[in-house]
């Protein structure tokens, strides 16, 4: 029986493969001239929005971990420590020079407003950055697909256990929440938590954080729960298997189709857009670096 190792098949990979096979190839398969094997490539200069999102994730992770360690501690101190941890992470990013001065102000302001908004929160964190996995068997080939992921947080929210996913955005909340209604990653997270045994997740809670494009230091917050029924979860398993077969077919044929309609979205342009226009090895060297594994 062929076993696909967990690290080969995660939730975001699944969603990426579903979106565009060429993107999957660039992100996870393509070999960078400076790497020794297939690793995928990523832009050297990260997108400003993505960097901001990663830093806010770090802040919330640090904050909620302290609450898990001691729920009776001083939340104000937890907030300050979380902001400090986030600021210490800034040097690890390559930031567009014209955006760098604003970044620190924006993320401090965001964290400060978040802690004030949720000072009396009906959300109790149970775990942060939790590795999870779910096994899915392909009955045709007898392969077992191990679907792994790292969930932002597991929490009790209004009495039920939810997988919490922090999402930063500049879209409206209506667009953000619609975008994830059929998210394969989310269904995978719910299945994973159920598989792990200790908790049964009611669903996924998006913890939405919205930066307003026209007012840099003003942030809005909203949360949205998603619940999945049995039929949707069965569909999840069949979808994973179907996508995996598609990926195998692309790899066998050495052809990764481009999904042209996905290149430009309301939230930004795909990071591989220049390569899809003109696939030049010199451009790979100049604009991209190997993915870290
Ligand atoms: S630019 Fe478009 S076609 Fe190319 S990888 Fe991105 S989404 Fe796919």
pLDDT tens column, 132-161: 888 888 888 888 878 778 889 999 999 999
Helical pair 184-196 and 11-19, crossing angle rounded to 10 deg:
160
CB neighbours (10 Å) of residue 281? 9
- Tokens, residue 280: 């030049």
Residue 2 has pLDDT above 60, yes or no: no
- 15 CA from centroid of ligand 1 (Å): 14
Q: Is the CB of residue 216 less than 8 Å from the CB of residue 101?
A: no
Residue ranges of alpha helices (H) inside the chain are: 11-19, 21-24, 48-69, 75-88, 100-117, 173-179, 184-196, 230-253, 273-277, 281-287
- Dump pLDDT digits (tens) for 77-108: 999 999 999 999 998 888 877 777 888 999 99
User: Is domain 2-33+39-249 given the CATH code 3.90.320 in the classification?
Assistant: yes
- 161 CA from centroid of ligand 1 (Å): 36
Share of the chain above pLDDT 90, in %: 47
What separation in angstroms does the CA of 179 have from each of 47, 131, 184?
20, 24, 11
What separation in angstroms does the CA of 30 have from each of 20, 87, 214, 291?
14, 32, 38, 10
Query: Which of 47, 259, 284 to mutate to test ligand 1, by most ligand atoms within 8 A of the CB atom?
Result: 259
* Residue nearest atom 7 of ligand 1, based on CA coordinates: 263
- Atom of ligand 1 at shortest distance to CA of 269? 1
- Each domain of the chain, given as residue ranges in start order, spans 2-33+39-249
Share of the chain above pLDDT 70, in %: 92
pTM: 0.85
- 171 CA from centroid of ligand 1 (Å): 21
* Residue nearest atom 1 of ligand 1, based on CA coordinates: 273
Q: Report CA torsion sign: 265, 162, 242, 12.
A: positive
- 258 CA from centroid of ligand 1 (Å): 6
**pLDDT class for 72, splitting at 50, 70, 90?**
very high
């Amino acid at each position: 029986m062929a076993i696909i190792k967990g690290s080969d098949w995660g939730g975001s990979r699944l969603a990426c493969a579903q979106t565009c096979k060429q993107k999957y190839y660039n992100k996870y398969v393509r070999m960078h001239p400076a790497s020794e094997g297939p690793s995928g490539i990523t832009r050297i200069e990260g997108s400003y929005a993505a960097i901001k999102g990663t830093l806010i994730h770090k802040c919330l992770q640090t904050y909620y971990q302290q609450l898990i360690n001691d729920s009776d501690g001083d939340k104000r101190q937890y907030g300050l420590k979380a902001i400090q941890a986030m600021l210490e992470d800034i040097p690890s990013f390559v930031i567009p020079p014209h955006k760098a001065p604003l970044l620190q102000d924006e993320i401090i302001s965001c964290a400060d407003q978040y802690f004030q908004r949720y000072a009396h929160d009906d959300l109790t964190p149970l775990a942060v950055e939790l590795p999870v996995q779910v096994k899915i068997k392909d009955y045709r080939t007898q392969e077992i697909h191990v679907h792994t992921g790292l969930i932002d947080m597991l929490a009790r929210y209004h009495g039920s256990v939810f997988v919490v996913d922090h999402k930063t955005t500049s879209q409206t909340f209506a667009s953000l929440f619609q975008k994830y209604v059929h998210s394969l990653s989310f269904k995978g997270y719910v299945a994973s938590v159920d598989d792990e045994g200790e908790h049964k997740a009611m669903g996924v809670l998006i913890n939405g954080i919205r930066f307003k494009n026209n007012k840099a230091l003003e942030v809005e917050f909203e949360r949205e729960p998603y619940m999945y029924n049995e039929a949707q979860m069965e569909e999840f398993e069949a979808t994973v298997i179907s996508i995996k077969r598609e990926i195998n077919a692309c790899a066998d044929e050495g052809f990764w189709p481009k999904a042209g309609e996905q290149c430009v979205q309301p939230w930004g342009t795909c990071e591989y857009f220049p390569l899809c226009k003109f696939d030049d090895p010199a451009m790979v060297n100049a604009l991209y670096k190997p993915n870290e594994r």
